[in-house]
Amino acid sequence: MKALLQRVSQASVVIAGDTVGRIGPGLLVLVCAERGDSEAHATALLAKLLKLRIFADAAGKMNRNVQDLDGQGARGGLLVVSQFTLAADVSGGNRPSFTGAAAPEEGRRLYDYFVAQARAAHGQVQTGQFGADMQVHLVNDGPVTIALRIEPAG
């Protein structure tokens, strides 16, 4: 599985004019299931992103994770958005190929699993809508953007 994390001061997802998800300080998580991915990949990806120390401590160093955003137990939000285009392959020309992405039904299953696990582990989780045409609004804090990938077995 792949994810693109953006540390944000705020982020939201709008579908057809309606805001369906909104967070304050935390992480915008664009997530993509690829062919061969499993629940184990989703679990490992979530564990990694929850522990990444990319939020500033009192000295301004990146020593806090989203689960302890301010060093006093305040959790940051997660805004999880499905993003199959992270599987784009442009090595064969200028038009992206998405053959590396999981099939839509498998992608939805793994996205739903990821979101359920995130809610169980973190609590402060908002989402977009799988397969929808979404507008994502964010204020990238830093900016800090990190790409993560958990490789399928084999």
- Report, as residue numbers or ranges, the catalytic residues: 83-85
Residue of 45, 66, 41 lying closest to 56 (CA atoms):
66
Q: What are the residue ranges of helices labelled H in the chain? A: 39-51, 104-121
Token pair 């997660």 is found at 78
**CA-to-CA separations, 84 to 1, 30, 69, 99, 114, in angstroms, rounded:** 10, 9, 28, 10, 14
Q: What are phi and psi of 86, to 5 degrees?
A: -65, -15
| Pairing label, strands 26-32, 77-82 | parallel
Supply 84's token pair: 């199959």
